[in-house]
A = this chain, B = another copy of it.
Amino acid sequence: MPADPDRHRQEPAQLRPEGAGAHPAHAVHLAGRTGALGAGALCYNGAETGASGRTRRRSGTVDGARVRAAIFAAGELYDLERVRALVGRPDLVICADAGLRHAQALGLRVDLVLGDFDSLDGAALEAARAAGMAIVQVPVEKDKTDSHLALEEALRRGAEEILLVGGSGTRLDHTLSNVLLLPECPVPITMTDGKSVARVLRDGQSLAVRREEGAYLSLVPLTPAVTGVAASGVYWPLEGATLRWGESLGISNRVVEPAARVSVGSGCLLVIQAWD
């Protein structure tokens, strides 16, 4: 967010990954990855498996469980209690700029606040500093959004599962940019604003989605066509369907069994539970 065009553009030195080139997170090819979401609150409500149906459990660094990170962006939260239930007790909390207010509203211990601080007022920043929070100020002029830097920092600190909170809101460009961080993230990532809970499925992946009171289940094709889409346990089942841009077929389905299952042949699908 280049609020001050007179500054020189530079990469934030504090956050530059070790070694040359991009952060390794972005070099990981996701298609065909397998993983199993555990029972923690950050796990959204799904269990993800590869095409084979086998699951894999990685040993994390916290009591052998997966390292779960919550990232708070500066967008909107429409239902704090739903977010509270999803967040649970994360191992790592990173706030991007004014996302700090969301973490504070939830009473969470914050590991790091980072940003160019164009959206967090000085008093709030000083209060955070006085409370002993780690704070990293990055240049206003940079090639990445604060949310993106927070995501990279979470990966660098070993996050094996991420909940991105407050990444959507009144700036459509930021909302879309945050949504499009999901497909390339090398670990399972969920995005929520309290009224929507979104996950990405790519080639050959599948996801279980628990029934939630009052929730719609929408399937949005992020690539121009997503083929081989199957959805069971829903009011309008799909089998071998193709979802395309310019159609709205996948919007506002309903989970009618204890859990639905959604799988994708090829392409990239956003799976969203949403409440009116």
Contacts from A to B (Cβ < 8 Å): 1-2, 5, 9, 26, 76, 78, 143-145, 147-148, 168, 170-177, 179-181, 183-185, 193, 195-196, 198, 216, 218, 220-221, 223-224, 235-236, 244-254, 256, 268, 270, 272, 274, 276
Contact = CB atoms under 8 A, between A and B. Distances in A.
Going nearest first, the 5 A-B pairs with the smallest beta carbon separation are: A184-B246, A173-B218, A172-B196, A145-B248, A148-B248
A254 B196 CA distance: 31
A5 B235 contact: yes
Secondary structure dominating the interface of A: loop
Given A181-B245, A184-B245, 14 more contacts: A1-B216, A2-B236, A78-B170, A143-B247, A145-B248, A147-B248, A168-B172, A171-B195, A171-B276, A174-B274, A177-B218, A177-B248, A180-B245, A183-B245
A178 to B, nearest CB: 8
Nearest to A253: B2
Given A172-B196, A274-B173, A220 B180 contact: yes
A246 B195 contact: no
15 contacts: A1-B216, A2-B236, A2-B253, A26-B246, A144-B247, A145-B251, A172-B175, A172-B196, A173-B220, A173-B272, A174-B274, A177-B251, A181-B246, A183-B224, A224-B268
